[in-house]
Chain A
Amino acid sequence: CGYHLRGAVDLPDSLKKVYLNGASMQLREQFRKVLRGVSGELTTSPEAAGVVINVANEISDQRVLSLSARGRSNELELYYRLQYTLVKADGVVVLEGLPVEIKREYFNNQQDIVAKDNEQQVIRNEMLQQAVRIMLDRIRLSLATDKK
């Protein structure tokens, strides 16, 4: 029915070396993990990198979605917003600032706050991994269209 395995537009070597500029510690850590999965790596200087990602703005916060009878929050929405521009080594700006926005809801009626904090940390990491995958996907898609 026309579906084929995704083309071998894997990250070209030049894009396997990424310099992340201005990212928070957590984003940097997740970026390193996801890149390792694609046998890429974070370089320590822009010169050594095939592509430079300038993180302009990173907002990681939460908001209350619903309240219990006592007026205490029992459903939280964690949101993460990342604004970045991606510049290839030759200075060509590949992707103009379409921000990555991810939000996850999770039940937390503050009964077992320590356990729920652990859960929040796990969700935050999953959100960051998803953000990194979205960024890499966009790079891959924009490269694929470039190639055509």
Chain B
Amino acid sequence: ALESDAAQPIAIDSNTATYDEASKTSTYTGNVISVQGSIRVNSDKLVAYQKNGEIDKLVFTGNPAKFKQTPSAGGEDILGNAMIGEYYPKKNLLVLQNQAVVVNGNATYASNLIEYDIKSSLVKAGEKSSDTKRVHVILKPKPKDKPESDKPETETNPPPTDKP
């Protein structure tokens, strides 16, 4: 992921916002849009938990809530949505639950639990011990006709034909 993201300030825009000093949590509801560098989250509700002055965890819910990030300069965006999402800026870790879907380049993951370690770009989905959170992964074939590079297409050359 973009190294710079974690250090960026987090901007949140919503219809209402309340702050609870005791629990050091602020709650935003109604069309909440939060942005941190290239990370952007749309949700119906967002709760931010602060720990010694910094945001430790963001919990967002939506029907579904949507998540977007540009992993590397010029790289293709990573998208995700789920009913509930937790984002840990420090650990650059995103946890999506309950109808969670993540689209990353030619791969799509769907499960009721997806842990996406953005820094190491490692996606963990489903649950080892039970079959309640089945994972469904679709890996689109890389177009064979371009031997020289396998990085995702940049805007310059025409998108692969199978775009709708």
Asked if chains A and B are in direct contact (CB within 8 A), the reply is: no
Residues of A within 8 A of B (CB): none
Residues of B within 8 A of A (CB): none
